[in-house]
Amino acid sequence: DRSEQRTERLFADEAGIKRAADLILSGKTVSFATETVYGLGADATNSAAVAAIYAAKERPQFNPLIAHVADVSAADALVCIPPALEPLISDHWPGPLTLVLPKKSDMVSDLVTAGLSTLAVRVPARASARAMLRAVNRPVAAPSANPSGRISPTTADHVLSGLDGKIAAVLDDGPCDVGLESTILGWEDGPVLLRAGGLSVEAIETALNCSVRSTKGEAITAPGQLLSHYAPQAALRLNATQAEPEELLLRFGDGPSDWTLSPTGDLTEAAANLFAMLHRADRVATRIAVMPIPQTGLGLAINDRLNRAAAPR
């Protein structure tokens, strides 16, 4: 297989960050930590490099990707930002928020936007990611660094277990803090939720002082939001109150255990643990059950990921 290569594990010091940036500038794919999940990055202005992301992930179709930039002024050069979004941006960029807005320039490859007239942009908060983006000094396209359809990675080991030999490097900066992908927000005469994620809808509504329209029930607006996604190998049962025979129960707010998303019922902690615990459970069990998670705050995004993981496949 000509796509086999040696994958370098880089540490997120100055030399590692410089090496990661140089690899991206030379058209290679590099996984890097963000505060949400590990991304698989490539130069967004280089179509061949972006195509290599799809090849490594074995994505069945060209879903549009998020362009990552180091700061708000770099985002401003790529998309038209409605003035009404400014309070949200000043409160939550850098952070786990992606904005889908009309694109302003042709700098980014059409493979990133999948030919759409809008572009998804995000300023990640993780310091090593921002330092790498500053060194690249170009937008970096990055989906989550997992083989298509599998659980998203929140450690460098997760990345290597799925993509070792298929990508040039992983910039290891320890576990991700948020543990869920960014919230994706569009704008159609007002804010529209395209994907629940690491920034709660409540926090967005507070910053904007208006309500966010939800697209739930409407046609899928974020292409690539397929129902079966984030899937473990094991069978997954939701809203479980106790384990059935042969099931491993992931608990929530149910006191200490090796297998609890949060012993105290804290949604932020549960979000941070979700993917790592699914990866770990998948290695030891063939049936996983999960206790109910409340549908508020980050619970929206947790339940979204769990519902996709449990969908028929």
Among 113, 128, 148, 260, binds ligand TXA (CB under 6 A): 113
Q: Note whether 109 binds ligand TXA by CB under 6 A.
A: no
Dig out the tokens for 142 from the structure: 């990055």
State the Cα–Cα distance between residues 141 and 46, nearest whole angstrom.
10
Dig out the tokens for 7 from the structure: 């994958």
Tell me, residue by residue from 173 to 212, as one string, x for binding to ligand TXA by CB under 6 A and - for no binding. Answer: --------xx-x---------x------------------
DSSP bridge pairs for 121: 67, 99
DSSP 84: G
Among 46, 109, 128, 144, binds Mg ion (CB under 5 A): 144
Question: Smallest distance from the beta carbon of 146 to ligand TXA, in angstroms?
Answer: 8
Among 5, 45, 47, 118, binds ligand TXA (CB under 6 A): 118
Polymer length of the chain: 313
183: which residues sit within 8 A by CB, 6+ positions away? Answer: 96, 97, 98, 193, 195, 196, 197, 198, 199, 200, 201, 204, 301
Residue 256 DSSP SS3: coil
Question: Smallest distance from the beta carbon of 124 to ligand TXA, in angstroms?
Answer: 6
Closer residue to Mg ion in complex, CB, 93/275: 275
Closer residue to ligand TXA in complex, CB, 178/293: 178
Whether omega for the bond prior to residue 94 falls within 30 degrees of 0, making it cis, is yes
DSSP bridge pairs for 171: 10, 32
Q: Note whether 149 binds ligand TXA by CB under 6 A.
A: no
* 83 exposure class (CB count in 10 Å sphere: 0-12, 13-18, 19+): exposed
Tell me, residue by residue from 40 to 69, as one string, x for binding to ligand TXA by CB under 6 A and - for no binding. Answer: -----------------------xxxx---
Site for ligand TXA in 123-142 (CB under 6 A): 124, 142
State the Cα–Cα distance between residues 29 and 168, nearest whole angstrom.
6
Residue 122 DSSP SS3: strand
Residue 118 assigned ligand-binding role: yes
Q: Note whether 301 binds ligand TXA by CB under 6 A.
A: no
Question: Which residues contribute to the site for Mg ion (CB under 5 A)?
Answer: 144
Question: Which residues contribute to the site for ligand TXA (CB under 6 A)?
Answer: 34, 36-37, 39, 63-66, 98, 100, 113, 116, 118-120, 122, 124, 142-144, 181-182, 184, 194, 222-225
